[in-house]
């Protein structure tokens, strides 16, 4: 760790373009005073105004980025954040965060927790020390820690699930991406069985097959449930007009048992159950479809929601439904695979009646949100796929699949938009 001048595999031989002094000076010290003034202009309490909260949060990040030196940013990325993931994952699997939340969240002595969870006390002290140094738990005395809202949330399966599946079966694709890129001459990945994930894990399985083969499929399903928490929901007032676009015009005589909504690739049914709760009086059947291992892993789901095993490359068994719905499905696949999925839905849709709602990010041409660009990076390395812009969605859905986009309903920054699609005669 301490040596310098050692030849490193893949080391860039090009000369630096700036002096080393740049790396130990603030990134943008001149911007800091202006950012501080902007922060001071916010109201004292933004907790009830999510738009203001997010704007203030982004300004706080701007201030950190301005004041950090490049060297500090580098150490944060490569040591601090990288080291925090295994520390958090280990503590979650041991049950440390449950212990911190117990007894009203009073401060706990790390060696005492270690005894309860059967961990080497020296090891646990080191893990908790780093988690505290990163601000995720609070140090109240030597080897003594108090939980936070974040650490308490790590007792919730949909929040901690990702800390199991990403380190266990996914992040090596990120770690080896530079090797994959060099081997493939830096061509954009677009093949589902020969991408960065396959390179890193020496497999021909796609991500979902790989997750189930390695035992992390259920954790990934939980992680997707956590990702969706707190995101704009298309079923809420002011987003997509459910009453006007779906409920009104529903044909209860279209069959003996008409269907209101089919959630295709709906995992454990989080979305269709949310629809059931928020729109309890809507007519028609509600169905969640996914592969047999996913459907079989559903623990709890309201009896009104039908569970249906289905591979979306095969004929859609539900014909003429009012709504076919997909949430974060098409972003998992390159265009060729998406066209196969869309063709099966198109066959089942009733022209002028059925709606296809595609719940995905629509990346704006400028000012993309960091969560969306982060997800796009995951698409590159894990699935050889992408988050798409408005033009890319239009090209895929209209030009290639032969469907019609009625409207794109966008919340802030294009996050979790609804692309409303119809079949034309």
Catalytic residue among 360, 400, 416, 420: 360
Alpha carbons 263 and 252: distance in angstroms, whole number? 19
User: 287: which strand partners?
Assistant: 262, 306
Separation of alpha carbons 22 and 170, rounded Å: 35
The answer to whether residue 331 is catalytic is yes
Active-site choice (99, 212, 331, 416):
331
Closest CA to 334 of 383, 270, 398: 383
The residue written with tokens 């079923």 in the block is: 235
Contact criterion met (CB below 8 Å) for 96 and 53: no
Whether 188 sits among the annotated catalytic residues: the reply is no
360 is catalytic: yes
**Active-site pick, 387, 398, 416, 422:** 387
Q: Which residues of 364-393 are buried (b: 16+ CB within 10 A; e: fewer)?
A: eeeebbeebeebbebbbbbbbbbbbbbeeb
Of 218, 203, 235, 189, which Cα lies nearest the Cα of 380?
Answer: 189
Q: Are 418 and 239 in contact (CB under 8 A)?
A: yes
Q: How far apart are CA 268 and CA 288, in angstroms?
A: 8
> Alpha-carbon distance 249 to 198, whole Å?
46
Catalytic site positions: 331, 360, 387
């Amino acid at each position: 760790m301490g040596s310098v001048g050692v030849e490193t595999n893949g080391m860039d031989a090009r000369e630096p373009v700036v002096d080393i002094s740049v790396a130990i000076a603030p990134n943008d010290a001149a911007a800091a005073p202006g950012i501080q003034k902007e922060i001071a202009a916010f109201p004292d309490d933004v907790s009830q105004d999510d738009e203001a909260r997010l704007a203030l949060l982004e300004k706080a990040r701007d201030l950190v980025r301005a004041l950090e030196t490049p060297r500090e940013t580098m150490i944060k990325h490569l040591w601090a954040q990288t080291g925090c993931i295994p520390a958090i994952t280990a503590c979650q699997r041991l049950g440390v965060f449950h212990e911190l939340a117990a007894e009203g969240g009073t401060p706990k002595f790390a060696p005492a927790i270690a005894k309860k969870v059967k961990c080497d006390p020296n090891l646990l002290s080191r893990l908790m020390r780093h988690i505290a140094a990163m601000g995720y738990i609070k140090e109240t005395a030597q080897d003594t820690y108090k939980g936070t809202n974040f650490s308490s949330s790590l007792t919730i399966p949909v929040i901690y699930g990702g800390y199991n599946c990403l380190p266990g079966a996914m992040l090596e694709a990120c770690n080896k991406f530079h090797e994959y890129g060099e081997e493939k001459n830096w061509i954009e990945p677009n093949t589902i069985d020969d991408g960065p994930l396959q390179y890193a894990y020496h497999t021909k399985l796609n991500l979902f097959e790989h997750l189930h083969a390695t035992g992390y499929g259920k954790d990934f399903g939980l992680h997707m449930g956590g990702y969706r928490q707190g995101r704009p929901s298309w079923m809420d007032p002011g987003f997509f007009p459910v009453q006007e676009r779906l409920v009104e015009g529903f044909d209860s005589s279209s069959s003996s048992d008409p269907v209101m909504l089919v959630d295709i690739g709906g995992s454990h049914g989080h979305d269709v159950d949310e629809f059931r709760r928020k729109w309890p009086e809507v007519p028609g059947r509600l169905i969640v479809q996914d592969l047999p291992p996913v459907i079989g892993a559903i623990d709890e789901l309201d009896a009104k929601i039908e569970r249906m095993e289905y591979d979306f490359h095969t004929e859609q068994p539900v014909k003429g439904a009012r709504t076919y719905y997909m949430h974060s499905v098409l972003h998992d696949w390159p265009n060729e695979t998406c066209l196969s999925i869309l063709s099966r839905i198109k066959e089942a849709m009733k022209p002028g009646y059925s709606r296809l709602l595609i719940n995905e990010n629509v990346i704006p041409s400028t000012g993309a949100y960091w969560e969306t660009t982060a997800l796009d990076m995951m698409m590159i390395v894990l699935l050889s796929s992408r988050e798409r812009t408005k033009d890319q969605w239009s090209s895929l859905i209209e030009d290639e699949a032969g469907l019609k986009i009625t409207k794109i309903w966008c919340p802030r920054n294009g996050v979790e938009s609804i692309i409303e699609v119809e079949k034309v005669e």
